[in-house]
Structure 1
Amino acid sequence: MTRAPPHHDVADLGLAEVGQGRVEYADARMPVLRSIRQRFARERPLDGVRIAVCHHVTAETANLVRTLSAGGADVALCASNPLSTQDDVAAALVDRAGVAVHAFQGEDMATYYDHIERVVDTEPHVTMDDGADVISVLHSRRTELLPALLGGTEETTSGVLRLRALEAEGKLGFPVVAVGAAQTKRFFDDRYGTGQSTLDGILRATNTLLAGRVAVVFGYGWTGRGIALRARGAGSQVVVCEVDPLRALEAKLDGFEVMPALAAAAKGDIFITATGGRDVVRREHYELMRDGALLCNAGHFDVELNLADLRAVAPERRTVREHVEQHVAPDGRRLHLLAQGRVVNLAAAEGHPAAVMDVAFANQALVAEYIVRHAQELRPRVYDVPRELDHEISRLALASLGVEIDTLTDAQQSYLTSWELGT
């Protein structure tokens, strides 16, 4: 007898076969997560646990969901970005994996939040956020569900900022682990993943030549470092804008030009925000930009580029390519907004390569297991990923690459952990 699909809202279940192929292709490039899935299937550490996942609905996320399901979890999934959903993958998860998915490409904001509500309706024990939207809904409109929450995870730096604000006000209703702050996630995902995929999104959207262009990167955190490094590798002259003096000094010593945003606005050809803040590029910057400038965002939310100011400075607009909206100022200058100001690597490309998300989502899976096992010990606060999980993921990643490393001898270990030994 054919199994009825779970409650869902996706574009077209007829896309399931194509989506399943995409999921399997990604899975072949995610050996760390695959090894965790195999263990989960044997041990079932998440049996009976309801997990609400709000992430980009991509083939890589599908393999995370499959891993959670293999561990016994009942998973409901919605999108963390209206433009990043791969409709064929959403269909495959519903049709082939029996997952309740509420997401389709291009959903409006009303639908976006309705989909979050549908996932919250499952009364989850664990949340997995990419921007803290599920947690925000739980703390604002669905507070009756807070007592049942064992814990949650947060993927992004932007989301962690929101959660720390909740914690500081004494309003965080359950423990949350900042997966986005894990060393394996920051190092691998932010620097190498976003660094490469941001340029991929720019190139797919614009087909522009990066060599010889001035690329202005706002923010020199892990993501900004990766973008600056890859842009320089493509032949761009890279300018970094920062508000943190330590990061600005690091950018300078790494060989990049560092200057205030107003000075960079008059010099740049390509502008890329990666700060986690808002109104990074605004009216006074748009007024100084040269004809043909490209504007894009690699931060999580679409608030880094002030779009109201852009429309005020350059009110005439039209779509000139897919994901490229041309804004024309009264003086004839053309400023090009990519992917509506949303995260360009997902809205105009495919996001991180599967090998990158393998490590990031290994964190999510192991932290979910950690939350369930340690629920009685955790308190309503923001936790870092336990160091032993970071090391376990690194070990699995090295093993998948065929890399062996040394271990400390007993004498070396004693030397590093004793106060008696010294000069």
Structure 2
Amino acid sequence: MNHTLKNPALAESGHRKMDWVIDRMPILAKIRERYRHTPVFQGQRIAISLHLEAKTAVLAELLHIGGATVSITSSNPLTAQDDVAAALAERGVTVHAFRGANADEFDQLHQRVLDIEPTLIIDDGGELTERLHTNRRALADQVRGGAEETTTGVTRLKALAKAGKLLYPMILVNDADMKHLFDNRYGTGQSTWDGIVRTTNLVVAGKTVVVAGYGWCGKGVAERARGLGARVIVTEINPVRANEAIMDGHQVMTMHQAAPLGDYFITVTGNTHVIHADHFARMKHGAILANAGHFDVEVDVRGLRSLAVDTVPGRTPEITGYRMPDGRILWLLAEGRLVNLAAGDGHPAEIMDLTFGLQALSLENLLSHPRAPGVYPVDPAVDAWVAQIRLEALGIAIDHLTPEQKAYLSQY
């Protein structure tokens, strides 16, 4: 088994991380026990592009236990954890990932993952799908389908499907209730601030936080900022979400108006150049810029670099200061990439247990219910099962409709 790793000797640390989260992921534990007796993926080859940290490694190992040949890389050059990659390689999964890959290396790592000629894929942001529709198109005919993790990836898939160009069925895991209501909101909210606070070691209380985008991820980031004592400003392009932010108690204004007010700026939109040169020119000295969307384009990093007269090192490698011609320094976290993963450990284990349970079960569903090329929601029964198992793990029981209540609801 050939791997692409930075240092295999780091495996011991990675094993400790994996063992820590396994005990806190009851949904995957229940699925794993079933897979040990019923290898539902026997004969399947699964290619994965996800942020390669401990929770992701547990998912990859789970699919291997389920009988699949699994090959994995990281969906972001800065989110691979080298110790986890080394540990996963010792657990039967082919790993092509290391932190800090440049653009060419990042592409090659994905190409190597696709060399297994996958029958199923799990994607994050459409990295595998992009290649399977361009320079690896010859492999697409044998792909029975896959599952997409993120809002950004869902947007790209819907565009492909609308154009009639999507070559295989994809399950939109991101749109499932047990994903976006929890992973996007509570996971992104907590992990974004974990990444920012551990990197900067600065207070949030009393500061002004500007959150660009008020989807489920933006809601979570704004909610946690307020919980930490910040004043929150939301910028939006959607009038409905803008009204929602107002009703949630936040200020709403344009980024042009917010630029001189913010101490922290966090982009959560999935779009490009949400913060750009006009905004940089209006920001106060010491403003901190972070991205919790998918790609490193939400903050115009190239534009920021071109404006700067020089750079200033921060307290950690994840912080870079850009000195403007007038002497102001703007601090960029994690090169504008995902701050919660590039400068942290990502979402909590209990949150990713939900999302990765949906991923594994959606791949099963594709095998048992073949579909034509297109985009599809998660089976409601799968969503409900994950919700129920989570409640059982917490020791919580809920009410059920009585026959009388069911009859009442069916009246017209």
The TM-score with structure 2 as length reference comes to: 0.98
For 2:153, the equivalent position in structure 1 comes to 159
Tell whether the 8 Å contact from 1:287 to 1:313 is kept in structure 2 after alignment.
no
**1:180-329 equivalent positions in 2, closer than 5 A:** 180-322=174-316, 323-329=318-324
What is the rounded CA distance, in whole Å, between the counterparts of 2:108 and 2:34 in structure 1?
35
For 2:25, the equivalent position in structure 1 comes to 30
1:396 is matched with which residue: 386, 389, 394?
A: 389
What is the rounded CA distance, in whole Å, between the counterparts of 1:116 and 1:278 in structure 2?
23
For 1:382, the equivalent position in structure 2 comes to 375
User: What's the secondary structure of 1:17's corresponding residue?
Assistant: helix
User: What's the secondary structure of 1:147's corresponding residue?
Assistant: helix
Tell whether the 8 Å contact from 1:216 to 1:272 is kept in structure 2 after alignment.
yes
| Amino acid paired to 1:170 | G
1:140 CA drift (Å): 0.5
User: What's the secondary structure of 1:292's corresponding residue?
Assistant: coil
1:318 CA drift (Å): 2.6
For 1:76, the equivalent position in structure 2 comes to 71
Tell whether the 8 Å contact from 2:212 to 2:269 is kept in structure 1 after alignment.
yes
Which consecutive unaligned segments of at least 5 residues does structure 1 have? 1-5
| Amino acid paired to 2:354 | V
What is the rounded CA distance, in whole Å, between the counterparts of 1:143 and 1:131 in structure 2?
18
2:44 is matched with which residue: 43, 46, 49?
A: 49
User: What's the secondary structure of 1:84's corresponding residue?
Assistant: coil
For 2:340, the equivalent position in structure 1 comes to 345
1:413 CA drift (Å): 2.1
Tell whether the 8 Å contact from 2:64 to 2:92 is kept in structure 1 after alignment.
no
1:407 CA drift (Å): 1.1
For 1:368, the equivalent position in structure 2 comes to 363
1:10 CA drift (Å): 0.7
Tell whether the 8 Å contact from 2:61 to 2:92 is kept in structure 1 after alignment.
no
RMSD between aligned residues: 0.9
What is the rounded CA distance, in whole Å, between the counterparts of 1:315 and 1:175 in structure 2?
49
1:42 CA drift (Å): 1.6
For 1:3, the equivalent position in structure 2 comes to none
**1:84-233 equivalent positions in 2, closer than 5 A:** 84-95=79-90, 97-233=91-227
Offset from partner CA, 1:353-410 (integer Å, 9 cap, x none): 11111111011011011111112xx111111111111110000111111111111122
Identity rate of aligned residues, in percent? 46
Tell whether the 8 Å contact from 2:119 to 2:142 is kept in structure 1 after alignment.
yes
| Amino acid paired to 2:388 | R
Q: How many residues align?
A: 411
What is the rounded CA distance, in whole Å, between the counterparts of 1:39 and 1:245 in structure 2?
46
Offset from partner CA, 1:170-227 (integer Å, 9 cap, x none): 1100000111111111011111111001001111111110001000000000000000
1:311 CA drift (Å): 1.9
What is the rounded CA distance, in whole Å, between the counterparts of 2:407 and 2:385 in structure 1?
22
What is the rounded CA distance, in whole Å, between the counterparts of 1:59 and 1:135 in structure 2?
24
| Amino acid paired to 2:19 | E
1:243 CA drift (Å): 0.4
Offset from partner CA, 1:245-291 (integer Å, 9 cap, x none): 00000000000000111000011110000001111000111010000
Tell whether the 8 Å contact from 2:10 to 2:83 is kept in structure 1 after alignment.
yes
For 1:411, the equivalent position in structure 2 comes to 404
Which consecutive unaligned segments of at least 5 residues does structure 2 have? none
Tell whether the 8 Å contact from 1:240 to 1:259 is kept in structure 2 after alignment.
yes
User: What's the secondary structure of 2:133's corresponding residue?
Assistant: helix
For 2:55, the equivalent position in structure 1 comes to 60
| Amino acid paired to 2:194 | D
What is the rounded CA distance, in whole Å, between the counterparts of 1:76 and 1:166 in structure 2?
25
